[in-house]
Amino acid sequence: KMSEGNFTSPLYSIFIINKSGGLIFHKDLVQRKVRLTSNSYLQIAGVFHGMYAITSQLAPTKEVSSGIKTLEADCMKLYCFQSVTGTKFIVTTEPNRNDVEINEFLSQLYSLYANYVLKNPFYDLEQPIHNCDKFQINLNSLIENMFSVSL
Amino acid sequence: MNIVDRQLPDKKSKNEVSLSAYTLLFSELIQYNQRKVTHIKELERRLADIGYSVGVRLLEYIAWKDKGDKYLKRETNTVRFLQFIAVTVWKLLFGKAATLERSMDKKEQFMITEDSTLVDKFISVPKDMQGLNCASLVGGLVEGLLDAAEFPARVSTHSVSVDTQKTPRTVILIEFNASVLAREQKYSL
């Protein structure tokens, strides 16, 4: 998906997937070598949603297990946070990143979503996030503050 | 005992309501009204009407509750009453004061401005509804207060983009009826 190289931001991309597996938000913070169409992003989100469900079933524990929390690869590391309502917040970062910091970012992202998307009367639930300007503005500030990136 | 009948736990929180609870209710209010109207201006008008009925009742409530045993003295001067609104009422409702300005060229025009309105905080207006300002509710509230206090005026809410911040600033424009100014002049209040 992405080749190695020095990227300007430690955070590569952000995805938000609704409870039925549809991609509702996506943001790329670095340039990809291979350009993906919007359809590919939807497919990727769907596949991840399926994988998450499978892994939570596969866990060899008696109690209910969560799905994929982190996924490490050579060129990137992926973190996923699923809320109690089934909405997944996914972030891909450079490898060897501090887990605690990224998990903190994910919970801040969840809080931004709850505030600026869910409380917006002009947003239809479970639909792609189009017009929530305040969400975008505050998300950019959060990224700039946490990772010292200029957007 | 029913949870609704119980006292609020904290003395400090007796006057406070959760912002999230309010915002979700306000969001539903807007969606409900949106289904019944066809233009943006009509939606703003409806929100203003709702604010008006709140404002009319609010004056009684503040006059009674704010001072405890003593009653609030009835204000008869326009500027002082507007200051009362911009500072006391605003602090009671939103926890902070707004700025009151007087128009340079028109003597009956005043403006209450706020960098960011609390009622509007989590609402992002989509691009195809650009003219809408949900703070019209607050404009209506001010109109209700003024009418209840016998200062009839025309009140309108506007958003003004400023360079210093990304979201526009809210301005509530108040134009008093000629009768109010004439009365002030006559009795030199």
* pLDDT over threshold 50, residue A2: no
Is the pLDDT score of A1 beyond 50? no
What does the pLDDT read at residue A35? Answer: 82
B80-112 burial: b if 16+ Cβ within 10 Å, else e: ebbebbbeebbeebbeeebebeeeeeeebbbbb
Give the pLDDT of residue A32.
79
Per residue in B33-82, pLDDT (tens digit) is 989 988 888 999 999 999 999 999 988 888 776 655 556 778 888 888 99
Q: ipTM for the complex?
A: 0.79
**Digit-coded pLDDT (tens) for B121-141:** 888 888 888 778 888 999 999
Instruction: Report pLDDT for B133.
Output: 82
How close does chain B come to A139, measured CA to CA in Å? 13
**Is 70 exceeded by the pLDDT of residue A6?**
no
Question: Average pLDDT over chain B, rounded to whole?
Answer: 85
| pLDDT (mean) for A131-143 | 90
Instruction: Using the structure block, give the residue that is written with the tokens 């703070």.
Output: B135
How far is residue A67's CA from residue A45's CA, in Å, rounded to a whole number?
Answer: 14
pLDDT digits (tens, 9 = 90+) for A84-109: 999 999 999 999 888 899 999 999 99
Q: Which amino acid is located at B78 in the chain?
A: T
CA distance B95 to chain A (A): 19
Burial of residue A69 (number of CB atoms within 10 Å: 0-12, 13-18, 19+): middle
The pLDDT assigned to B128 comes to: 83
Q: How many CB pairs under 8 A join A and B?
A: 42
Nearest of B115, B118, B14 to residue A119 by alpha carbon: B118
Backbone angles phi, psi at B171, to 5 degrees: -125, 125
In the prediction, which pLDDT does B115 show? Answer: 86
Amino acid at A58: L
- The C-alpha atoms of residue B66 and residue B50 are separated, in whole angstroms, by 23
Q: Quick check: A52 pLDDT over 50?
A: yes
Distance from chain centroid for Cα B166: 23
Tokens of B43: 């939606």
Q: Do B124 and A130 touch (CB under 8 A)?
A: no
Cα distance between residue B62 and residue B56, in whole Å? 11
Q: Quick one: CA torsion of B109, B144, B30, A16, rounded to 10 degrees?
A: 70
Residue B157: both structure tokens together: 């809410």
Sheet of strand A70-72: strand arrangement? A23-28, A11-17, A88-93, A77-82, A70-72
Report angle CA A118, A119, A120 to the nearest 5 degrees.
95
Q: Chain B partners of A137 at a C-beta cutoff of 8 Å?
A: 166-167
Contact at 8 Å (CB) between A13 and A92?
Answer: yes
Q: What is the pLDDT of residue B11?
A: 56
Place of tokens 């190695």: A4
Q: Residue A3: is its pLDDT beyond 50?
A: no
> Mean pLDDT over residues A57-66, rounded?
86
Q: Which of residues 114-133 of B touch A (CB under 8 A)?
A: 122-127, 129
Q: CA of B80 to nearest chain A CA: how many angstroms apart?
A: 36
Q: What pLDDT digit, counting tens, does each position of B138-164 carry?
A: 999 999 999 999 999 999 998 888 888
The mean pLDDT of A59-85, rounded to a whole number, is 90
Stronger pLDDT, B73 or B119, i.e. the higher one: B119
